[in-house]
């Protein structure tokens, strides 16, 4: 990455962070809240929102961090451990307090006191990874039962802004290149974990700082899983959930690759999943409930005689958010999420088919007025390593 692009990144990032904070302040004003503590857990999760990360764009190293966002005055980012201060100062465009983990809560308390906010109305967004001990401690630290503010953060974060999309598009490019690398590198006789390691390091060198990756192969897969030392063999189907992260924004592609030429049966069944994915993308328009899209994805599969396989344990979900700011949308029954323009998530009719085993076919998409568009610019094909 050039110095020039780093500078332009910084401008986009800082502008987006300012807009995020301004939008949250608008929500705070509606409830007369004087300050928000947006907590972040260092137990980074692919499926758990991190409010501190969202309001700072800083990926924490230590177990705890928080953005203290007052209605009036500048925010402060409290991070752990203290020795990570310099990195934080360079990357986060706000005042920083870096402390040892044991001093995290007392530092939040003292910062609120310093700003004479302790007797004011306070809110907390803890996110999904907040330890119970921290959740239990807020009342004591703040001297009041705070207003819980996760929903407001999630509602804002689920609509991607310029910085989020910049990172997501960069991650999509890395994921595509990563899969191309797999096609070039993987060969019969190689252990799965060596292919996984090569892919991991290839994408790291392209700038992916983290990765949610499952990579495994079988003649008849029951599901995707972590890599083992099994050797790739002719006729195996190599499954890959490849999810590089750029600045904390994850972006997933799901791929199925036959070691050797795909059979007509494999082509036919994979085409069924492609049809399902295209149907889902067409249906996923602003205002449409997720359950309608789940049904659109399931219909061609059910029509082909596989209705029982459109449910667990043969699949898990038809898609999900990958952003650490919001876990919406989740494309499965029981979720009442509604699609909105500029939501980004992975749509994946990954599932077991009795004749071929489990297959993966998924793209990261963005919701537009005309449906979901793949950030990769393609719909996954059935790969082949000859």
- When asked if residue 113 is in the footprint of other proteins (CB under 8 A), the reply is no
- When asked if residue 120 is in the footprint of other proteins (CB under 8 A), the reply is no
CB of 287 to other proteins, least distance (A): 29
**212 φ/ψ angles, rounded to the nearest 5 degrees:** -95, 105
129 neighbors 50 (Cβ within 8 angstroms): yes
For other proteins, the binding residues in 274-293 under the rule CB under 8 A are: none
Number of residues engaging other proteins in binding (CB under 8 A): 63
CB of 59 to other proteins, least distance (A): 8
Q: Could you tell me which stretch among 16-24, 41-49, 142-150, 275-283 binds other proteins (CB under 8 A)?
A: 41-49
- For the chain, the 3-state helix, strand and coil shares in percent, each to the nearest 5, are 40, 20, 40
CB of 225 to other proteins, least distance (A): 4
Sketch the per residue contact string, 162 through 191, with other proteins: x for CB under 8 A, - otherwise.
------------------------------
- When asked if residue 8 is in the footprint of other proteins (CB under 8 A), the reply is no
Q: Which tokens is 113 given?
A: 């006191």
- When asked if residue 308 is in the footprint of other proteins (CB under 8 A), the reply is no
- When asked if residue 313 is in the footprint of other proteins (CB under 8 A), the reply is yes
- When asked if residue 193 is in the footprint of other proteins (CB under 8 A), the reply is yes
d(CA 113, CA 374): 48
d(CA 375, CA 168): 8
Q: Which of 100, 109, 13 is nearest to 68 (CA)?
A: 109
Q: Could you tell me which stretch among 70-78, 129-137, 252-260, 374-382 binds other proteins (CB under 8 A)?
A: 129-137
- When asked if residue 72 is in the footprint of other proteins (CB under 8 A), the reply is no
Q: How many CB atoms lie within 10 A of CB 177?
A: 13
339 neighbors 284 (Cβ within 8 angstroms): yes
- When asked if residue 103 is in the footprint of other proteins (CB under 8 A), the reply is no
CB of 324 to other proteins, least distance (A): 9
Tell me the Cα Rg of the chain.
22
Q: What letters, b where the CB count within 10 A reaches 16 and e where it falls short, cover 268-297?
A: ebbebbbbbbbbbbebbbeebebbebbbbb
CA quadruple 52, 153, 129, 287: dihedral positive or negative? negative
SS3 of 142-178: HCCCCEECHHHHHHHHCCCCHHHHHHHHHHHHHHHHH
Specify the residue, 83 or 370, whose C-beta has the smaller distance to other proteins. Answer: 83
Specify the residue, 44 or 115, whose C-beta has the smaller distance to other proteins. Answer: 44
**Please, how many CA atoms are within 13 Å of residue 88, restricted to the half-sphere of its CB?**
26
- When asked if residue 90 is in the footprint of other proteins (CB under 8 A), the reply is yes
d(CA 238, CA 216): 6
d(CA 166, CA 343): 14
Q: Could you tell me which stretch among 60-68, 177-185, 286-294, 340-348 binds other proteins (CB under 8 A)?
A: 60-68
Place of tokens 């205002």: 287
For other proteins, the binding residues in 195-254 under the rule CB under 8 A are: 196-197, 200-201, 204-205, 207, 209-214, 216, 222-223, 225-229, 245-247, 250
Specify the residue, 160 or 320, whose C-beta has the smaller distance to other proteins. Answer: 320
CB of 123 to other proteins, least distance (A): 19
For other proteins, the binding residues (CB under 8 A) are 1, 3, 6, 42-48, 59, 61-63, 80-87, 90, 100-101, 129, 131-132, 135, 193-194, 196-197, 200-201, 204-205, 207, 209-214, 216, 222-223, 225-229, 245-247, 250, 312-316, 352, 358
């Amino acid at each position: 990455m050039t110095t020039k692009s780093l500078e332009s990144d910084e401008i986009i990032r800082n502008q987006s962070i300012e807009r995020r904070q301004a939008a949250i302040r608008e929500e705070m004003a509606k409830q007369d809240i004087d300050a928000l503590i947006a907590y972040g857990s260092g137990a980074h999760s692919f499926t758990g929102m991190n409010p501190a990360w969202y309001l700072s764009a800083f990926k924490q190293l230590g177990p705890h961090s928080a953005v203290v966002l007052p209605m009036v005055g500048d925010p402060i980012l409290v991070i752990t451990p203290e020795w990570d201060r310099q990195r934080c100062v360079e990357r986060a465009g706000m005042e920083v307090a870096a402390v040892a983990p044991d001093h995290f809560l007392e530092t939040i308390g003292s910062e609120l006191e310093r700003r004479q906010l302790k007797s004011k109305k306070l809110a907390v967004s803890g996110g999904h990874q907040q330890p119970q001990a921290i959740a239990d401690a807020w009342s004591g630290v703040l001297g009041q039962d705070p207003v819980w503010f996760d929903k407001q953060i999630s509602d804002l974060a689920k609509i991607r802004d310029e910085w989020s999309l910049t990172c997501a598009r960069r991650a999509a490019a890395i994921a595509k290149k990563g899969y191309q690398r797999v096609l070039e590198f993987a060969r019969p006789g190689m252990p799965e974990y060596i292919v996984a390691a090569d892919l991991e390091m290839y994408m790291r060198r392209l700038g992916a700082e983290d990765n949610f990756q499952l990579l495994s192969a079988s003649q008849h897969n029951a599901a995707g899983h972590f890599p083992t030392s099994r050797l790739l063999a002719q006729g195996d189907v190599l499954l890959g959930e490849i999810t590089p992260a750029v600045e904390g924004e994850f972006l997933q592609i799901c791929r199925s690759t036959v070691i050797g030429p795909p059979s007509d049966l494999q082509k036919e069944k994979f085409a069924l999943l492609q049809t399902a994915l295209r149907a889902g993308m067409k249906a996923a328009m602003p205002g449409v409930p997720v359950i309608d899209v789940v049904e659109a994805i399931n219909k061609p599969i059910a029509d082909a005689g596989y209705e029982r396989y459109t449910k667990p344990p043969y699949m898990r979900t038809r898609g999900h958010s990958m952003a650490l700011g919001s876990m919406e949308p989740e494309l499965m029954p029981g979720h009442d999420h509604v699609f909105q323009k500029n939501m980004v998530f992975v749509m994946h009719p990954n599932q077991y088919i009795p004749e071929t085993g489990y297959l993966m076919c998924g793209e990261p998409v963005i919701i537009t007025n005309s449906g979901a568009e793949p950030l990769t610019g393609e719909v996954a094909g059935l790969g082949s390593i000859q």
